[in-house]
Structure 1
Amino acid sequence: MSQPNDLQAQIETWREDAAGLSYEEALQALDLLLAELQSDTVPLAELQQRVAHGEVYLDHCESLLKSVERAVDTLDPDSLEPTTDA
Structure 2
Amino acid sequence: MPLEDQFIPNHLSMSNKVTNKKNIEIFKQDINSLSYEESISALDAILNNVQDENISLDEIQINYIKGHILLKHCEDLLQFCEQEINEINPDFLDID
The TM-score range, normalised by the shorter chain, is 0.7 to 0.9
The residue number in structure 2 matching 1:54 is 67
- Partners of 2:86 and 2:30 lie apart in 1 by 29
RMSD over aligned Cα atoms: 2.1
Task: Output the TM-score relative to the length of structure 2.
Answer: 0.73
1:26: which partner in 2? 39
Of 32-41 and 22-31, deviating more is 32-41
- Tell me the number of residue pairs that the alignment of Structure 1 and Structure 2 aligns: 81
Indicate yes or no: 2:13 matched with 1:13.
Answer: no
AA partner of residue 47 (structure 1): I
Q: Percent identity?
A: 35
For residues 31-83 of structure 1, the C-alpha deviation after alignment (integer angstroms, 9 at most, x for no partner) is 100111123332123322210111111111111110000001112345448xx
Cα distance in 1 for partners of 2:60, 2:28 equals 18
Unaligned runs of 5+ in 2: 1-12
Structure 1 Cα separation of the partners of residues 22 and 92 of structure 2: 46
What TM-score results when the alignment is normalised by the length of structure 1?
Answer: 0.80
Runs of 4+, deviation exceeding 2 Å: 38-41, 76-81
